[in-house]
Protein backbone atom coordinates (compact mmCIF):
# COMPACT_ATOMS: atom_id res chain seq x y z
CA UNK A 1 0.00 0.00 0.00
CA UNK A 2 1.12 3.48 -0.85
CA UNK A 3 1.45 6.04 1.89
CA UNK A 4 0.55 8.92 -0.41
CA UNK A 5 -2.73 10.72 0.07
CA UNK A 6 -5.00 9.49 -2.72
CA UNK A 7 -7.87 11.17 -4.54
CA UNK A 8 -6.15 14.55 -4.63
CA UNK A 9 -4.91 16.98 -7.21
CA UNK A 10 -1.15 17.47 -7.20
CA UNK A 11 1.05 19.84 -9.15
CA UNK A 12 2.93 17.82 -11.77
CA UNK A 13 4.63 20.67 -13.61
CA UNK A 14 4.57 24.31 -14.51
CA UNK A 15 2.38 24.83 -17.58
CA UNK A 16 5.48 26.18 -19.30
CA UNK A 17 7.28 22.86 -18.89
CA UNK A 18 4.78 20.89 -20.96
CA UNK A 19 4.69 21.29 -24.74
CA UNK A 20 5.27 19.29 -27.87
CA UNK A 21 8.13 17.31 -26.36
CA UNK A 22 7.39 14.19 -24.31
CA UNK A 23 7.86 15.09 -20.66
CA UNK A 24 7.77 12.73 -17.72
CA UNK A 25 7.42 13.34 -14.03
CA UNK A 26 6.84 10.92 -11.17
CA UNK A 27 4.01 11.98 -8.85
CA UNK A 28 3.23 9.93 -5.74
CA UNK A 29 5.28 7.08 -7.17
CA UNK A 30 3.45 7.06 -10.51
CA UNK A 31 5.40 7.86 -13.68
CA UNK A 32 3.28 10.21 -15.72
CA UNK A 33 3.79 11.25 -19.33
CA UNK A 34 2.77 14.83 -20.10
CA UNK A 35 2.43 16.47 -23.51
CA UNK A 36 0.21 18.88 -25.43
CA UNK A 37 -1.91 18.00 -28.45
CA UNK A 38 -1.55 20.12 -31.55
CA UNK A 39 -4.34 22.36 -30.30
CA UNK A 40 -2.50 22.94 -27.02
CA UNK A 41 -4.45 20.72 -24.63
CA UNK A 42 -2.40 19.08 -21.89
CA UNK A 43 -2.68 15.31 -21.60
CA UNK A 44 -1.44 13.04 -18.83
CA UNK A 45 -1.07 9.29 -19.10
CA UNK A 46 1.03 6.47 -17.73
CA UNK A 47 4.64 6.62 -18.89
CA UNK A 48 4.80 2.83 -19.38
CA UNK A 49 3.90 1.11 -22.62
CA UNK A 50 1.28 -1.60 -22.02
CA UNK A 51 3.36 -4.07 -24.03
CA UNK A 52 6.68 -4.38 -22.20
CA UNK A 53 6.61 -1.31 -19.93
CA UNK A 54 9.09 0.72 -21.97
CA UNK A 55 9.02 4.36 -20.77
CA UNK A 56 7.21 6.39 -23.41
CA UNK A 57 9.30 9.41 -22.42
CA UNK A 58 12.50 7.56 -23.31
CA UNK A 59 14.19 8.08 -26.70
CA UNK A 60 13.41 7.09 -29.45
CA UNK A 61 9.76 7.29 -28.35
CA UNK A 62 8.21 10.36 -29.95
CA UNK A 63 5.10 12.34 -30.74
CA UNK A 64 3.53 11.81 -34.17
CA UNK A 65 0.75 14.35 -34.52
CA UNK A 66 -1.60 13.70 -31.63
CA UNK A 67 -0.24 10.24 -30.93
CA UNK A 68 2.69 8.87 -28.96
CA UNK A 69 4.80 6.15 -30.59
CA UNK A 70 6.70 3.83 -28.25
CA UNK A 71 10.38 3.77 -29.14
CA UNK A 72 10.78 0.05 -28.49
CA UNK A 73 8.14 -1.71 -30.67
CA UNK A 74 6.02 1.12 -32.01
CA UNK A 75 2.84 0.73 -29.98
CA UNK A 76 0.97 3.97 -30.70
CA UNK A 77 -1.43 5.80 -28.36
CA UNK A 78 -3.87 8.66 -28.72
CA UNK A 79 -4.25 11.58 -26.36
CA UNK A 80 -6.81 9.59 -24.36
CA UNK A 81 -4.27 6.79 -23.80
CA UNK A 82 -6.06 4.35 -26.10
CA UNK A 83 -3.75 2.27 -28.27
CA UNK A 84 -4.41 2.84 -31.96
CA UNK A 85 -1.68 0.74 -33.60
CA UNK A 86 0.59 -2.22 -32.81
CA UNK A 87 3.29 -3.81 -34.99
CA UNK A 88 2.79 -6.88 -37.18
CA UNK A 89 -1.01 -7.01 -37.08
CA UNK A 90 -3.94 -4.78 -37.88
CA UNK A 91 -6.12 -5.78 -34.94
CA UNK A 92 -5.40 -3.74 -31.82
CA UNK A 93 -6.33 -5.54 -28.59
CA UNK A 94 -9.26 -3.85 -26.90
CA UNK A 95 -7.52 -3.76 -23.52
CA UNK A 96 -4.54 -1.90 -24.93
CA UNK A 97 -4.86 1.46 -23.26
CA UNK A 98 -2.67 3.49 -20.96
CA UNK A 99 -3.92 4.72 -17.64
CA UNK A 100 -5.10 8.27 -18.30
CA UNK A 101 -4.98 10.95 -15.58
CA UNK A 102 -7.45 13.80 -15.07
CA UNK A 103 -5.46 16.92 -15.76
CA UNK A 104 -6.05 20.66 -15.36
CA UNK A 105 -4.17 23.88 -15.93
CA UNK A 106 -4.68 26.44 -13.20
CA UNK A 107 -2.63 29.23 -11.64
CA UNK A 108 0.36 28.51 -13.93
CA UNK A 109 0.54 24.86 -12.86
CA UNK A 110 -0.41 21.58 -14.51
CA UNK A 111 -2.37 19.59 -11.94
CA UNK A 112 -2.95 15.84 -12.14
CA UNK A 113 -5.40 13.82 -10.11
CA UNK A 114 -3.91 10.86 -8.21
CA UNK A 115 -6.45 8.25 -7.17
CA UNK A 116 -9.82 7.21 -8.53
CA UNK A 117 -10.43 9.34 -11.66
CA UNK A 118 -14.17 9.29 -10.98
CA UNK A 119 -13.53 11.49 -7.95
CA UNK A 120 -11.55 14.11 -9.80
CA UNK A 121 -14.40 16.34 -10.82
CA UNK A 122 -15.79 16.55 -7.29
CA UNK A 123 -12.45 17.37 -5.75
CA UNK A 124 -11.36 20.97 -5.39
CA UNK A 125 -8.06 22.12 -6.88
CA UNK A 126 -6.40 24.44 -4.36
CA UNK A 127 -5.86 27.99 -5.61
CA UNK A 128 -2.85 30.26 -5.95
CA UNK A 129 -4.36 32.94 -8.20
CA UNK A 130 -1.52 35.48 -7.80
CA UNK A 131 0.67 33.31 -10.00
CA UNK A 132 -1.41 34.12 -13.04
CA UNK A 133 -3.20 37.42 -12.39
CA UNK A 134 -2.84 41.00 -13.58
CA UNK A 135 -1.21 43.28 -11.04
CA UNK A 136 1.27 40.66 -9.88
CA UNK A 137 4.74 39.75 -11.07
CA UNK A 138 6.01 36.25 -10.43
CA UNK A 139 9.35 34.44 -10.25
CA UNK A 140 9.32 30.69 -9.79
CA UNK A 141 11.23 27.43 -10.06
CA UNK A 142 11.38 23.86 -8.89
CA UNK A 143 14.12 22.16 -6.92
CA UNK A 144 14.35 18.39 -6.54
CA UNK A 145 14.43 17.39 -2.90
CA UNK A 146 15.98 14.07 -1.86
CA UNK A 147 13.77 13.96 1.20
CA UNK A 148 10.25 12.84 2.03
CA UNK A 149 7.57 15.46 1.55
CA UNK A 150 6.67 15.55 5.27
CA UNK A 151 10.03 17.12 6.02
CA UNK A 152 9.22 20.00 3.67
CA UNK A 153 5.79 20.41 5.26
CA UNK A 154 7.42 20.56 8.71
CA UNK A 155 9.90 23.08 7.38
CA UNK A 156 7.39 25.45 5.85
CA UNK A 157 4.87 25.30 8.68
CA UNK A 158 7.43 26.56 11.19
CA UNK A 159 9.11 29.71 9.91
CA UNK A 160 11.13 30.23 13.08
CA UNK A 161 13.83 28.35 11.20
CA UNK A 162 14.27 31.43 8.99
CA UNK A 163 16.25 33.06 11.79
CA UNK A 164 18.81 30.24 11.87
CA UNK A 165 18.87 28.51 8.51
CA UNK A 166 18.17 31.61 6.42
CA UNK A 167 19.93 34.32 8.44
CA UNK A 168 21.17 37.06 6.08
CA UNK A 169 18.38 36.33 3.59
CA UNK A 170 14.89 36.23 5.10
CA UNK A 171 15.61 35.54 8.76
CA UNK A 172 15.96 38.08 11.55
CA UNK A 173 15.86 37.54 15.35
CA UNK A 174 12.21 38.65 15.53
CA UNK A 175 10.92 35.70 13.50
CA UNK A 176 12.04 33.07 16.01
CA UNK A 177 11.17 35.29 18.96
CA UNK A 178 7.59 36.17 17.99
CA UNK A 179 4.88 33.72 19.05
CA UNK A 180 2.49 32.26 16.49
CA UNK A 181 -1.23 31.70 16.38
CA UNK A 182 -2.51 28.54 14.76
CA UNK A 183 -5.96 27.80 13.43
CA UNK A 184 -7.18 24.54 11.97
CA UNK A 185 -10.21 24.68 9.69
CA UNK A 186 -11.16 21.04 9.43
CA UNK A 187 -14.11 21.67 7.17
CA UNK A 188 -12.19 23.70 4.59
CA UNK A 189 -9.15 21.49 5.03
CA UNK A 190 -6.86 24.44 5.72
CA UNK A 191 -4.32 25.15 8.44
CA UNK A 192 -3.43 28.75 9.19
CA UNK A 193 -0.35 29.89 11.10
CA UNK A 194 0.19 33.58 11.69
CA UNK A 195 3.08 35.59 13.06
CA UNK A 196 2.72 39.35 13.19
CA UNK A 197 5.84 41.30 14.03
CA UNK A 198 5.01 44.93 14.84
CA UNK A 199 8.54 46.31 14.88
CA UNK A 200 11.16 44.16 13.22
CA UNK A 201 14.45 44.37 11.40
CA UNK A 202 14.00 44.30 7.63
CA UNK A 203 15.90 41.33 6.13
CA UNK A 204 17.85 41.84 2.88
CA UNK A 205 15.26 39.89 0.87
CA UNK A 206 12.68 42.62 1.52
CA UNK A 207 14.96 45.62 2.00
CA UNK A 208 16.62 45.15 -1.37
CA UNK A 209 13.35 44.48 -3.23
CA UNK A 210 11.12 47.14 -1.65
CA UNK A 211 13.66 49.84 -0.92
CA UNK A 212 12.56 50.13 2.72
CA UNK A 213 15.52 51.21 4.81
CA UNK A 214 14.19 51.30 8.38
CA UNK A 215 12.37 48.90 10.64
CA UNK A 216 9.21 47.20 9.46
CA UNK A 217 5.90 45.78 10.42
CA UNK A 218 6.10 42.23 9.09
CA UNK A 219 3.19 39.83 8.86
CA UNK A 220 3.50 36.17 7.94
CA UNK A 221 0.16 34.50 7.37
CA UNK A 222 0.42 30.89 6.25
CA UNK A 223 -2.44 29.03 4.61
CA UNK A 224 -1.67 25.38 3.99
CA UNK A 225 -4.10 23.17 2.12
CA UNK A 226 -2.88 19.62 2.78
CA UNK A 227 -1.53 17.62 1.28
CA UNK A 228 0.17 19.87 -1.20
CA UNK A 229 -0.44 23.61 -1.56
CA UNK A 230 1.22 26.11 0.75
CA UNK A 231 0.77 29.89 0.58
CA UNK A 232 2.57 32.43 2.72
CA UNK A 233 0.85 35.83 2.63
CA UNK A 234 3.72 38.13 3.48
CA UNK A 235 3.03 41.80 4.27
CA UNK A 236 5.85 44.29 4.73
CA UNK A 237 5.36 47.95 5.62
CA UNK A 238 7.31 50.64 7.41
CA UNK A 239 6.98 50.04 11.15
CA UNK A 240 3.57 51.15 12.39
CA UNK A 241 1.86 51.27 9.00
CA UNK A 242 -1.33 49.21 9.11
CA UNK A 243 -4.05 48.48 6.53
CA UNK A 244 -6.91 50.94 6.28
CA UNK A 245 -10.17 50.11 8.04
CA UNK A 246 -11.75 49.32 4.66
CA UNK A 247 -9.13 46.67 3.97
CA UNK A 248 -7.17 48.62 1.41
CA UNK A 249 -3.46 48.62 2.07
CA UNK A 250 -1.74 51.00 -0.35
CA UNK A 251 1.37 51.67 1.74
CA UNK A 252 2.38 48.06 2.26
CA UNK A 253 4.24 45.63 0.05
CA UNK A 254 2.60 42.26 -0.48
CA UNK A 255 4.37 39.09 -1.43
CA UNK A 256 2.63 35.76 -1.95
CA UNK A 257 5.10 32.93 -1.49
CA UNK A 258 3.65 29.72 -2.91
CA UNK A 259 4.97 26.20 -2.54
CA UNK A 260 3.51 23.16 -4.24
CA UNK A 261 4.75 20.10 -2.38
CA UNK A 262 4.53 17.09 -4.67
CA UNK A 263 5.75 13.73 -3.41
CA UNK A 264 7.87 12.03 -6.07
CA UNK A 265 8.69 8.82 -4.16
CA UNK A 266 8.54 7.85 -0.49
CA UNK A 267 11.81 9.69 0.01
CA UNK A 268 11.90 12.44 -2.60
CA UNK A 269 9.82 15.48 -3.41
CA UNK A 270 9.31 18.05 -6.14
CA UNK A 271 9.70 21.42 -4.41
CA UNK A 272 7.85 23.95 -6.59
CA UNK A 273 8.32 27.52 -5.35
CA UNK A 274 6.97 30.83 -6.60
CA UNK A 275 7.18 34.42 -5.35
CA UNK A 276 4.46 36.84 -6.50
CA UNK A 277 4.66 40.56 -5.66
CA UNK A 278 2.36 43.55 -6.13
CA UNK A 279 5.15 46.14 -6.45
CA UNK A 280 7.96 46.98 -8.86
CA UNK A 281 5.96 44.99 -11.37
CA UNK A 282 8.11 45.77 -14.38
CA UNK A 283 11.42 46.02 -12.61
CA UNK A 284 13.57 43.24 -14.07
CA UNK A 285 16.32 43.84 -11.51
CA UNK A 286 13.89 43.18 -8.66
CA UNK A 287 12.67 40.03 -10.40
CA UNK A 288 16.20 38.78 -10.84
CA UNK A 289 17.09 39.59 -7.26
CA UNK A 290 14.02 37.84 -5.83
CA UNK A 291 14.44 34.80 -8.08
CA UNK A 292 18.07 34.42 -7.10
CA UNK A 293 17.50 35.07 -3.40
CA UNK A 294 14.50 32.78 -3.09
CA UNK A 295 16.25 30.00 -4.93
CA UNK A 296 19.17 30.37 -2.52
CA UNK A 297 16.78 30.11 0.41
CA UNK A 298 15.09 27.05 -1.12
CA UNK A 299 18.48 25.42 -1.67
CA UNK A 300 19.40 26.07 1.97
CA UNK A 301 16.26 24.14 2.88
CA UNK A 302 17.08 21.43 0.35
CA UNK A 303 20.55 20.95 1.84
CA UNK A 304 19.18 20.76 5.37
CA UNK A 305 16.26 18.45 4.50
CA UNK A 306 18.41 16.15 2.38
CA UNK A 307 20.69 15.83 5.43
CA UNK A 308 17.68 15.09 7.63
CA UNK A 309 16.43 12.44 5.21
CA UNK A 310 19.81 10.70 5.39
CA UNK A 311 19.62 10.82 9.19
CA UNK A 312 16.12 9.37 9.26
CA UNK A 313 16.84 6.71 6.63
CA UNK A 314 20.00 5.65 8.45
CA UNK A 315 18.63 5.36 11.95
CA UNK A 316 16.18 3.01 13.61
CA UNK A 317 12.50 3.90 13.69
CA UNK A 318 10.79 5.01 16.86
CA UNK A 319 12.93 8.05 17.52
CA UNK A 320 11.19 10.33 19.99
CA UNK A 321 10.97 13.93 18.82
CA UNK A 322 10.57 16.84 21.18
CA UNK A 323 8.00 19.43 20.08
CA UNK A 324 7.36 22.94 21.40
CA UNK A 325 5.00 25.83 20.65
CA UNK A 326 6.51 26.63 17.26
CA UNK A 327 5.53 23.15 16.08
CA UNK A 328 1.79 23.59 16.57
CA UNK A 329 1.13 24.25 12.88
CA UNK A 330 3.39 21.46 11.67
CA UNK A 331 1.85 18.92 14.03
CA UNK A 332 -1.65 19.94 12.92
CA UNK A 333 -0.58 19.44 9.30
CA UNK A 334 0.80 15.99 10.07
CA UNK A 335 -2.46 14.98 11.75
CA UNK A 336 -4.58 16.23 8.87
CA UNK A 337 -2.41 14.46 6.28
CA UNK A 338 -2.44 11.24 8.29
CA UNK A 339 -6.24 11.31 8.38
CA UNK A 340 -6.42 11.99 4.65
CA UNK A 341 -4.07 9.08 3.97
CA UNK A 342 -6.28 6.70 5.93
CA UNK A 343 -9.44 7.53 4.07
Question: Which parts of this chain interact with its own copies (CB under 8 A)?
Answer: 31, 48, 50-55, 58, 60, 69-74, 86-89, 93, 95-96, 154, 158, 160-161, 163-165, 167, 176-180, 304, 307-308, 311-312, 315, 319, 321-326
- If phi > 0 it is left, if psi is from -120 to 50 it is alpha, else beta; for residue 47 that is alpha
CB of 285 to its own copies, least distance (A): 28
User: How remote is the C-alpha of 128 from its chain's centroid?
Assistant: 10
| Residue 30 or 223 with smaller CB distance to its own copies | 30
CB of 61 to its own copies, least distance (A): 8
Distance CA 248, CA 242 (A): 10
CB of 178 to its own copies, least distance (A): 7
CB of 317 to its own copies, least distance (A): 12
| Residue 280 or 304 with smaller CB distance to its own copies | 304
Distance CA 234, CA 290 (A): 14
Residues whose CB falls within 8 Å of the CB of residue 322, separated by 6 or more in sequence, listed in order: none
| Residue 242 or 307 with smaller CB distance to its own copies | 307
Burial per residue of 153-185, b for 16 or more beta-carbon CB atoms within 10 angstroms, e otherwise? bbbbbbbbbbbebbeeebbbebbbebebebebe
Q: How is residue 241 annotated by DSSP?
A: -
| Residue 70 or 131 with smaller CB distance to its own copies | 70
| Residue 85 or 341 with smaller CB distance to its own copies | 85
CB of 64 to its own copies, least distance (A): 12
CB of 183 to its own copies, least distance (A): 17
| Residue 87 or 144 with smaller CB distance to its own copies | 87
CB of 90 to its own copies, least distance (A): 10
Q: Is residue 89 a contact partner of residue 72, using CB atoms and an 8 Å limit?
A: no
| Residue 7 or 58 with smaller CB distance to its own copies | 58
Q: CA–CA distance from 160 to each of 97, 109, 201, 287 (Å)? A: 49, 29, 15, 25
- The number of C-alpha atoms within 13 Å of 125 and in the hemisphere containing its C-beta is 21
Distance CA 150, CA 148 (A): 6
Amino acid sequence: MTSFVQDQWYVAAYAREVGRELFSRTVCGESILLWRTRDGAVTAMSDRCVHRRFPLSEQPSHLAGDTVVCGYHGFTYGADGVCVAVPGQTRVPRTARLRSYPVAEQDSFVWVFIGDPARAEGTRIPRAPWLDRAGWTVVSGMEPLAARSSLLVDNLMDLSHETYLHGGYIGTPEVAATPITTEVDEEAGIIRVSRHMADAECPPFYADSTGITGRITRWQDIEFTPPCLYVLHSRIAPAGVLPNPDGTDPDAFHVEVVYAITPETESSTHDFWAVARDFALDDEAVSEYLAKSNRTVVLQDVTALDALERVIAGEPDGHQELSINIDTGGLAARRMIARMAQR
